[in-house]
Copies of this chain bind each other. A is one copy, B any other.
């Protein structure tokens, strides 16, 4: 499999060097693998730190900036960052009011962030954690105990980031982040597997004429293989389990935030068409979409496919979603 890289060994460092060159407003430590806002220290605000394996870009480093993450620590491709790296990110993000770790539910990430929280605590940084586990497709997969963390990470980071920007204290920011996660559910579909630089061949075989339902973001297979479907049919089978779980969750008459996410190699032309089907189905079922975001945000390298994330959102969550954000990948407001 051909890739636009120098070598599998240097992929992450090379990307960070490119980020540093493209975004001089960010503090990119290529050696120590931390991307941070320059204005975090002594900010008097809660710091938001996330990280995880690389290969999901723009998640997480692309979400560092005003109104979202304070720092991110990218691991090797599909591999958790190490605790030391997380501690450095915590130190870079600490503005005097403690730090919230946003952790996707994968065994390695959970273990390492746990250890990092202890180490940061010893350094005098108060740490809270939120575990993101929104994926309804699979429990107890290859990489997880319980549900996996996928698209809802973006909602958690955006909304908790807005709350931190407002100057709210750590316990409130953490509670809000947990609420966003609890009100969010996702489902993903692959039309092709992805290829990691280290392996150089697809992580699973997906024959012509078939798709994989319920995939995660690490090239792990999903819950079911089916014959290829139309965009409308894919929207139906994906939305079904999400809406089913969401029925009992959050303020049930509240509108939703919607993320229609590309897995990396699906053209935006197709993704918008897919979004049209999702929007129509939600309207048919009486679900009001307060805000929709369409694009490649939580990706799986060169996988073709998409995921849907819904977050049941009361007025406060919508307001915080709308709050200004200035990052490499997500920008709006002042």
Binding site for B on A (CB under 8 A): 1-7, 10-12, 14-22, 54-55, 57-58, 62, 77, 191-192, 208-209, 211, 228, 230-232, 234, 260, 264-277, 279-280, 289, 292-294, 296, 299, 301-302, 304-306, 326, 331-332, 334
Contacts and interface: CB of A to CB of B under 8 A. Distances in A.
Contacts of A301: 267, 269
A269 B15 contact: yes
Contacts of A21: 275-276, 279-280, 289, 292
Contact of A267 (B6, B292, B299): B299
Which of A14, A20, A62 has the largest count of B CB atoms less than 10 A from its CB? A14
Given A4-B306, A231-B6, A274-B4, A55 B269 contact: yes
A265 B268 contact: no
B296 A296 contact: yes
A292 to B, nearest CB: 5
Top-5 shortest CB links A-B:
A18-B276, A14-B273, A18-B272, A21-B279, A17-B276
Contact of A270 (B5, B275, B304, B332): B5
Contact of A6 (B4, B12, B77, B232): B232
Nearest to A192: B2
A128 to B, nearest CB: 29
A24 to B, nearest CB: 9
Contacts of A191: 2-4
Given A208-B2, A331-B331, A22 B275 contact: yes
Contacts of A16: 272
Nearest to A279: B21
Contacts of A273: 4-6, 10-11, 14-15, 17-18
Given A14-B277, A264-B267, 18 more contacts: A2-B209, A3-B270, A4-B231, A4-B306, A6-B231, A6-B277, A7-B230, A10-B273, A11-B270, A14-B273, A15-B270, A15-B273, A17-B276, A18-B276, A18-B279, A21-B276, A62-B268, A331-B332
Nearest to A30: B276
A268 B58 contact: yes
A212 to B, nearest CB: 11
A233 to B, nearest CB: 9
19 contacts: A2-B209, A2-B228, A3-B191, A4-B231, A4-B304, A5-B231, A6-B277, A11-B273, A14-B273, A14-B277, A17-B276, A18-B272, A18-B275, A18-B279, A19-B272, A22-B279, A77-B269, A268-B299, A302-B304
